Amino acid sequence: MKNGKVKNINKELLSDNWYRLEKLTFEYQKEDGSWETQSREAYDRGNGAAILLYNKKKKTVILTRQFRMPTYINGNDSGMMIEVCAGLLDGDHPEDCIKKETEEETGYKLDTVEKVFESYMSPGSVTEILHFFIGSYDEKMKIGEGGGSQVETENIEVLELDFGKAMEMIYTGEIKDAKTIMLLQYAKINGLFPNVQSSHYGS
């Protein structure tokens, strides 16, 4: 149901260089019943999907490492980020998208994945909804080296980490990516690795 407290939305395109940046001017009804004009900017890059690959027997997860320019200009001296595999939908169904991204980035071909939740990642300025998945992997699913798309100039390093170590890396600040923290915490809370402990995250 549409919000009856919002009306007369006007969109002004500010940039369409990579994705769409729009200025939105609208009227919003306050609690006293009066209307005020507000302006916001919204960045539309489409929706995306992310996945945590896990191996219960080995007690490991697959993560990636790559350079992220926006972090480099905001305090990340190396610009390198450790993340779960993720990508934009680009018109695909979220499940199809994340299977394709997994193979492209990590080299693992998954037959089945499980969607666990979805989230607006930065609702104050970005329209994106991210679909979160988990997927079990083993070595027989490895069909390539991964590394990402050459066309998209991706240079992705594939990491296989002990789950306990990955959880520690949240505490030490080695992992600062929100989607990765969310999926690792999901794995912890829901007992994907019931016997794994770390010094800062107990069983």
Residue 173 pLDDT greater than 90, yes or no? yes
Residue 65 pLDDT greater than 60, yes or no? yes
The CATH topology of domain 48-189 is Nucleoside Triphosphate Pyrophosphohydrolase (3.90.79)
Residue 118's H or E segment, with its range, is strand 114-120
Report how far residue 52's alpha carbon sits from residue 84's, in angstroms, rounded to the nearest whole number: 6
Query: What confidence score (pLDDT) does residue 195 get?
Result: 77
- Average pLDDT in the chain: 93
Instruction: Give the percent of the chain with pLDDT over 90.
Output: 87
Residue 26 pLDDT greater than 90, yes or no? yes
Instruction: Identify the CA nearest to 50 among candidates 3, 15, 91, 101.
Output: 101
Query: What confidence score (pLDDT) does residue 18 get?
Result: 87
Residue 72 CB burial class (10 angstroms; 0-12, 13-18, ≥19) = middle
Q: Give the Å distances, CA to CA, from 140 to 54, 63, 165, 202.
A: 14, 18, 24, 31
Higher pLDDT, 146 or 184: 184
- pLDDT-derived band at 78, boundaries 50, 70, 90: very high
pLDDT tens per residue across span 125-170: 999 999 999 999 999 999 987 665 555 556 899 999 999 999 999 9
Residue 23 pLDDT greater than 90, yes or no? yes
Higher pLDDT, 149 or 91: 91
Section 77-95 average pLDDT: 96
The boundaries of every CATH 3.90.79.10 domain in the chain are 48-189
Query: What confidence score (pLDDT) does residue 194 get?
Result: 86
pLDDT tens per residue across span 93-119: 999 999 999 999 999 999 999 999 999
